[in-house]
């Protein structure tokens, strides 16, 4: 059977593991400190949004003084952008390698698609990014453009490859590839947005494994049905 987590294996983020063991501990901190700040900032930004986030709160969670933030980031906005970029990098580096080598059924591929997307998003720092970008899209157009180009378009292309895989094997029957890919990509995206906005609320709590299975099954049925071809027959 397939490894559900196989897709993003190269995601060893930032590679500080091979950092130079210099004699001065504060020099090692210099490299780690920004990472701690970014991690804390990501949490607070996702929780509260850009404007509601206080730099002092980020500092508190990062275990530093407010002034320290400004040693590494020019201002709050620069911190925000750095947070987004840093958190997105796992997604950016997500390769198509898995698809290149995939030889299973289209149905299983849909399972892979949904589960891997979820695992990628939730297991990495990027978990809260979709919600954050959604919330701040109008306030940070360039950042949103970057997100669209790098994440959404990228995700849509992966979906398109998956669809093409099924079409090539005569299992998927799709009239409008572009819109269909968009629909599926958006439903994946939606999951992560929801997860960070509503999953704290009882009525919205989702049993993720079940949800993912059901979604994959539903997508499979929608894609493999030939009904769309001759509705009036």
Interacting residue ranges for DNA, rule: CB under 7 A: 23-27, 29-30, 33, 53-56, 64-72, 74-77
Closest separation between CB of residue 231 and DNA, Å?
53
State the burial class of residue 154 (Cβ atoms within 10 Å of its Cβ: 0-12, 13-18, 19+). middle
Q: Which of 79, 133, 159, 162 binds a second copy (CB under 8 A)?
A: 133
* 177 contacts 160 by C-beta, under 8 angstroms: yes
* Tokens found for residue 22: 């210099």
69 or 174: whose CB is closer to DNA? 69
The residue (of 73 and 147) whose beta carbon lies closer to DNA is 73
Instruction: Fill in the per-residue mask, 2 to 41: x = in contact with a second copy (CB under 8 A), - = not in contact.
Output: ----------------------------------------
Judged by CB under 8 A, the residue of 149, 157, 168, 169 near a second copy is 149
- Sequence-separated (6 or more) residues with CB below 8 Å from residue 205: 199
CA distance 206 to 136: 25
Q: Which stretch binds a second copy (CB under 8 A): 27-35, 74-82, 83-91, 185-193?
A: 185-193
As a whole number of angstroms, the distance between CA 126 and CA 188 comes to 14
Out of 50, 102, 111, 165, the only residue in the binding site for a second copy (CB under 8 A) is 50
Distance CA 53, CA 45 (A): 6
């Amino acid at each position: 059977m397939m490894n559900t987590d196989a897709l993003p294996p190269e995601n060893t983020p930032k590679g500080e593991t091979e950092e130079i063991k210099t004699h001065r501990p504060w020099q090692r901190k210099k490299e780690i400190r920004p990472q701690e700040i970014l991690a804390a900032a990501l949490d607070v930004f996702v929780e509260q949004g850009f404007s509601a986030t206080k730099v002092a709160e980020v500092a508190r969670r990062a275990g530093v003084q407010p002034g320290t933030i400004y040693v590494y980031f020019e201002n709050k906005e620069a911190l925000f952008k750095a947070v987004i970029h840093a958190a997105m990098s796992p997604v950016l580096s997500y390769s198509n390698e898995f698809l290149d080598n995939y030889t299973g059924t289209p149905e299983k591929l849909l399972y892979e698609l949904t589960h891997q997307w979820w695992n990628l998003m939730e297991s990495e720092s990027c978990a809260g990014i979709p919600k954050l970008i959604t919330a701040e899209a109008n306030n940070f157009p360039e950042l949103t453009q970057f997100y669209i180009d790098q994440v959404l378009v990228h995700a849509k292309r992966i979906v398109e490859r998956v669809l093409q895989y099924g079409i090539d094997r005569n299992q998927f029957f799709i009239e409008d590839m572009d819109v269909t890919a968009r629909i599926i990509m958006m439903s994946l995206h939606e999951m992560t947005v929801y997860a960070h906005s509503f999953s704290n609320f009882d009525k919205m709590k989702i049993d993720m494994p079940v949800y993912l299975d059901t979604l994959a099954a539903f997508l499979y049925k929608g894609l493999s049905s030939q009904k769309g071809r001759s509705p009036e027959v």
